[in-house]
Amino acid sequence: MTASRALPAPHVPPLDLGGRTALVTGAAGGIGRACALRLAAAGAKVRAVDRDAEGLEALAEGARGLGGTVEPHVLDLTDLDAAELAAAGTDVLVNNAGLQLVRPIEEFPPDVFHTVLTVMLEAPFRLIRGALPHMYGQGWGRVVNVSSVHGLRASAYKSAYVAAKHGLEGLSKTTALEGAPHGVTSNCVNPGYVRTPLVERQIADQARAHGIPEERVLSEVLLQDSAVKRLIEPEEVAEAVAYLCGPRASFVTGTSLVLDGGWTAH
């Protein structure tokens, strides 16, 4: 019997977004920062949007150290007209900005519910609306919506966040259907709990809502339904986003790329 020959590994060129402009919201920290740095490293000129001016400057400095280009754009996404204008001329749009409050529905402040839906659903609609004319005009575009496992599953005490993420899933699919004839893809990335300040700030609220000590929140609440018992890192999410922005994902649209450690396998 002759020994089988090992096939040569296929040559996979690195992601090249040279000449492309990408807009990332919530870019000053967490997932947004990781996405901005990853896309800048791939050659994109990144328009980094956030309310945190200092965080954006630190991001831009970090990108320069990696040889990338990040342009800070201080913007409050509750200014919907400004959000739509900021997206004009972008080739890649990453809707990432988010906020969270953990409260029972009967105690949930209506003004906070309104703000969460504005930032996490209405602003992405306006950003997509602002970006599509340029994308359609050139016959190419990528929309990536950083959703969540909570876009597919609900959790108690997160009415605004869950409602916004479920709405974002529908918006993303509609964008995919409308964008397909124009070479534009639209997808969601759905991580479980990510090691970010947003998640860290939830721990006290979760402990209070569930009536348990803070040190038990990670294992008994956040990771209870995950088969992989750890937080996912922002860089892992950014890599999934980068894949969806690249040429090899041209047939991937209208779907949700789930990074939940097996949560939705139940």
The CATH number of the domain holding residue 55 is: 3.40.50.720
- Both structure tokens of 231: 């937080």
263 is a domain residue: no
262 is a domain residue: no
- The number of C-alpha atoms within 13 Å of 255 and in the hemisphere containing its C-beta is 11
Q: Could you confirm whether 157 is annotated as catalytic?
A: no
190: β partners: 258
Residue 201, Cβ neighbours under 10 Å: how many?
Answer: 14
Total tally of structural domains belonging to the chain: 1
- Both structure tokens of 182: 């124009």
3 is a domain residue: no
Domain that holds residue 107: 21-257
257: β partners: 189
209 is a domain residue: yes
Q: 77 with 83: CB under 8 angstroms? A: yes
Give me the catalytic one of 136, 161, 193, 243. Answer: 161
250 φ, ψ (degrees, to nearest 5): -65, -20
238 is a domain residue: yes
Q: What is the pLDDT tens value at each position of the chain, 266 positions in all?
A: 455 566 666 666 789 999 999 999 999 999 999 999 999 999 999 999 999 999 999 999 999 988 889 999 999 999 999 999 999 999 999 999 999 999 999 999 999 999 999 999 999 999 999 999 999 999 999 999 999 999 999 999 999 999 999 999 999 999 999 999 999 999 999 999 998 887 877 888 888 888 988 878 888 888 888 999 888 999 999 999 999 999 999 999 999 999 999 999 98
Q: 108 with 160: CB under 8 angstroms? A: yes
Q: What are the start-end ranges of the H helices in 118-233?
A: 123-138, 159-179, 197-200, 202-210, 217
Q: 145 with 171: CB under 8 angstroms? A: yes
175 is a domain residue: yes
13 is a domain residue: no
Residue 255, Cβ neighbours under 10 Å: how many?
Answer: 15
